[in-house]
Structure 1
Amino acid sequence: MRFVIVTGLSGAGKTQAIRSLEDLGFFCVDNLPPTLIPKFAEACYKTEGKIQKIALVIDIRGGKFFDDLFESLNYLKKESYKYEILFLDASDEVLIKRFKESRRKHPLSPAGRVLNGISEERNRLREVKDRSDNIVDTSTLSTRELRGVINKIYGEEGQVETQLMITVVSFGFKYGIPLDSDLVFDVRFLPNPYYIPHLKKHSGQDDLIKDYVMSFDVSKNFVEKLEDMLKFLIPNYIKEGKRQLIISIGCTGGRHRSVSIANTIYERLKEKDFKVNIDHRDINEDVSKKGGKKL
């Protein structure tokens, strides 16, 4: 079992660090009172291997409870529970800038100067820093660079972060563009099955509609160009740290063309081993009073 205690100065990046550890498969707990560490460790070790990687964030937000940290660490050592400490640090100048940008008060100086709080926090954390296994100075690190450092230290050989989760959404413009869209594509220029009587009642889920939509060169060219764009974008999104990508494809009512194209893109992304979901938001939205369905 790998048991990591994440601590350090307020504003130095503990939140980003714990998110990165979570992406690496760690079971993460934020702001656990240090006095509870022994009980928590015992519970985890009793899972008989079901929990292999654990990360706890411990910092001065715990107030007077933080003083129990060393007693808890000594208990872990006495009971032969292996643990390691990750300490995040940054320069005073950078920390002050981060607090000003976020407009947050320092927890040790809520009514005074941020610098006073930082100085007091450094003094209180000096001993735990000396006992740390890994010290990371985030003064010059971007979020992406910090994540890379965490991956290098705590990622297993050959392990990568949780993949980008892609969701392909079909929708109808008459019902509005999905609010969480990252990329939006309008396929209303494609030939419309709605105006063909024997196709009208079907949806893009049916092979009859998909075969019709994809029988046109303009549809094939669009899909090829969109796939080529996504092949360029997705690796760069992953590199930059994006965790979710919503690709929205719309036609008039979200029943025929958008569904067919969304399914085609979904299948092609899945073939390339991307983690991808499909969501046909409006496929059954437009139902007439007679029970018939329109585009």
Structure 2
Amino acid sequence: MAQQLDLVIITGMSGAGKTVAMQSFEDLDYFVMDNMPPKLLPKFWELVRQSGKVNKVALVVDLRSREFFDDLQEMLAISASTGSVRTSVLFLDASDGELVARYKETRRAHPLAMEGRVLDGIRQERALLSELKERADLVINTDALTPRQLREEIFSQYADEQGPANEFHIEILSFGYKYGLPIDADIVMDVRFLPNPYYVAALKPLTGLDQPVYDYVMAQPATTPFYQQWLSLLQLVMPDYQREGKTSLTIAIGCTGGQHRSVAIAARLGKDLAADHRVHVSHRDINKRKETVNRS
């Protein structure tokens, strides 16, 4: 049986939010193509089917392709006839007044009125798109929507059964301060206030993934009260990060060398947060050693 492919065509008025829509579909694990000429779609679908690795595609098509309309109508007919491609058209709309305001704010020219009035270009585009809008499976008016609200609407319409789990995930990263801060961290916690297992001869060659080091770190008097309060704080703010539209959160935990304390705390945090979230734990500096560097 041929693989079922989902194709979402994102189109609509220029300035109505196609960029936000494109980013939203990327976060829904769609393979997103921006402004591919519709005539290339049959070949593109053939390559997708041969790969067997892509089953969700979102295609952004707009007036930058002057052959947009006839080619798109033909492509939709071809897709429907194959039976293996499930096609949906998302049309993003906004009122003339709102679109004019957005163009004035960005100081961009409308693609159909490069040297004329923005409103003239909007009205011409609306007339050209009227037939496609009637064929759309979903029309979203973005007049009163913020980018975050538009994103939420797209997620509610297109996320599959596993959408909520796939939408938000947590990256937990241990690191050593002497090798530099991770530049992609959203939250950084310094655990150098805990006693350093490096100075225990039997623990020095091990890492926080080894049980003796893990037990040593967790047995320190300061560890339990610190960890419980920090975990509670993370659990408190996590839903707000999601409500603000973040799809991932990187939590970095640092100690001096990135081999003992930070690794143990990261491992424990990963297990605890995995009960409610999709979590990935990595240890950036676990295999690095600089014996000549003074550890504090």
Q: TM-score range by the shorter chain?
A: 0.7 to 0.9
Any stretches of 5+ residues in structure 2 without a counterpart? none
Any stretches of 5+ residues in structure 1 without a counterpart? none
- Matched with 1:152 is 156
* Alignment of 1:284 onto 2:267: no
- Matched with 2:237 is 233
More divergent stretch after superposition (184-193 vs 126-135): 126-135
- Matched with 1:109 is 113
Three-state SS of the structure 1 residue aligned to 2:237 is helix
Q: How far 1:27 moved relative to its partner?
A: 4.1
CA change 1:137–1:218 in 2 (3 A) is same
Q: Give the whole-Å Cα distance in 2 for the aligned partners of 1:51 and 1:182.
A: 30
What is the RMSD of the two structures over their aligned residues, measured on CA atoms? 3.1
* Alignment of 1:133 onto 2:153: no
Three-state SS of the structure 2 residue aligned to 1:217 is coil
Q: Give the whole-Å Cα distance in 2 for the aligned partners of 1:42 and 1:267.
A: 42
- Matched with 1:93 is 97
Q: Give the whole-Å Cα distance in 1 for the aligned partners of 2:45 and 2:178.
A: 54
TM-score normalized by the length of structure 2: 0.83
Q: Deviations over 1:36-87 (max 9, x none)?
A: 345555776x669976544322211212344433344455567777633221
Counterpart selection for 1:187 from 177, 191, 201: 191
- Matched with 1:30 is 34
Q: Deviations over 1:140-167 (max 9, x none)?
A: 1122322232233334467536232211
Tell me how many residue pairs correspond in the alignment: 291
- Matched with 2:65 is 62
CA change 1:228–1:126 in 2 (3 A) is same
Tell me the amino acid that sits aligned with residue 97 of structure 2. E
Q: Give the whole-Å Cα distance in 2 for the aligned partners of 1:114 and 1:294.
A: 63
- Matched with 2:204 is 200
The share of aligned pairs that are identical, in percent, is: 46
Q: How far 1:246 moved relative to its partner?
A: 0.9
* Alignment of 1:253 onto 2:257: yes
C-alpha contact 1:5 1:58 (8 A) present in aligned 2: yes
Q: Give the whole-Å Cα distance in 2 for the aligned partners of 1:115 and 1:240.
A: 33
Q: How far 1:247 moved relative to its partner?
A: 0.5
More divergent stretch after superposition (155-164 vs 180-189): 155-164
Q: Give the whole-Å Cα distance in 1 for the aligned partners of 2:47 and 2:197.
A: 60
CA change 1:68–1:163 in 2 (3 A) is closer
- Matched with 1:263 is 267
C-alpha contact 1:171 1:177 (8 A) present in aligned 2: yes
Q: How far 1:274 moved relative to its partner?
A: 2.1
Q: Give the whole-Å Cα distance in 2 for the aligned partners of 1:156 and 1:165.
A: 16
Q: How far 1:200 moved relative to its partner?
A: 2.8
TM-score normalized by the length of structure 1: 0.83
More divergent stretch after superposition (99-108 vs 216-225): 99-108
C-alpha contact 2:256 2:295 (8 A) present in aligned 1: no
C-alpha contact 1:168 1:276 (8 A) present in aligned 2: yes
- Matched with 1:10 is 14
CA change 1:55–1:220 in 2 (3 A) is same
* Alignment of 1:216 onto 2:220: yes
